[in-house]
Amino acid sequence: MIHRTALGDSPTDDQAIAADDVARLIAEESRPAPAGRPWVAINMVTSLDGGTATAAGVSGDLGDDVDTLVFAALRSVADVVLAGSATVTAERYRPPRADPERAEARTARGQQPMPRIAVVSNAGDIDLDLPLFTATDRSSRPIVLVASGRIEKSRRERLAEVADVHDAGDEAVDPERALAVLAEAAGARIVLCEGGPTLNGLLLAADLVDEWCLTLGPHLVGGDSARAAHGPGIDPPSAFALHRLWRHDDELLLRYVRRR
């Protein structure tokens, strides 16, 4: 059972929600595209001590099955799922799973039946043997966002065989340009960034994050994995308001929205 805590002036009391309701409730959350760019949501899972990966270098064991449900539900509201090259490699990304029921709901909302996956990599140096690039049953080609001054011609050509390659910066991928490319090339109005910490840090530093979803798993992992966002500091800190507080066993599933 998942427990939902009533927030703010909500007239409803705390209540239990069923796992079957997770996708619907997340789809009902408001995500209006700001003027000139898509809405940007980040979804991360961390340990109690702020770790983003276990000693194995991946995040899978940090969250439980309800975190997996939230992960899938967020994907099903996104037009594009964005991730850094290191995450795509570490987490062995594959094409999004087909789900006829979700596809129907997406089409009814005017979205493509499945989200596109977009990978950020300056030099396009990504393992092309990943299932993301090799699966034969995928519904669309992945997008790769690169820096024009960093990628070699031969690498661009090789990537273009398996993905749609777009320039999104000169010496480094620029997050604003990346979002503009995703709006133009994939019609993105909602971009879900799944990390990692480096990519999150770039988006935060440019104040492009509208929503921060965080699953706090009941574990301590120690180690030296980065915090959920890593990079230039932000001064003053950007403020967020709590919009969702769910608990499943000892895990918290939180949604914060940027105060603008």
Binding residues for ligand NAP, rule: CB under 6 A, are 44-46, 52-53, 57-59, 62, 84-87, 90-91, 120-123, 125, 172-173, 194-199, 202, 226, 230
Q: How far is the CB of 72 from ligand NAP (least distance, A)?
A: 14
Q: How far is the CB of 179 from ligand NAP (least distance, A)?
A: 13
Phi, psi of 105 (to 5 degrees): -65, -40
Closest CA to 227 of 204, 251, 260: 204
Q: How far is the CB of 230 from ligand NAP (least distance, A)?
A: 6
Q: How far is the CB of 8 from ligand NAP (least distance, A)?
A: 27
Strand order in the sheet with 211-216: 15-17, 2-4, 240-248, 251-258, 211-216, 39-46, 190-193, 80-84, 116-120, 143-146, 164-167
Nearer to ligand NAP, 52 or 76 (CB): 52
Nearer to ligand NAP, 177 or 243 (CB): 177
Contact predicate 126/119, CB 8 Å: yes
Nearer to ligand NAP, 106 or 204 (CB): 204
- Angle at alpha carbon of residue 118, lines to 50 and 88, rounded to 5°: 50
C-alpha separations of 105 from 197, 223, 235 in Å: 31, 41, 40
Nearer to ligand NAP, 86 or 105 (CB): 86
**Separation CA 68–CA 76 (nearest Å):** 12
Q: How far is the CB of 60 from ligand NAP (least distance, A)?
A: 8
Nearer to ligand NAP, 41 or 111 (CB): 41
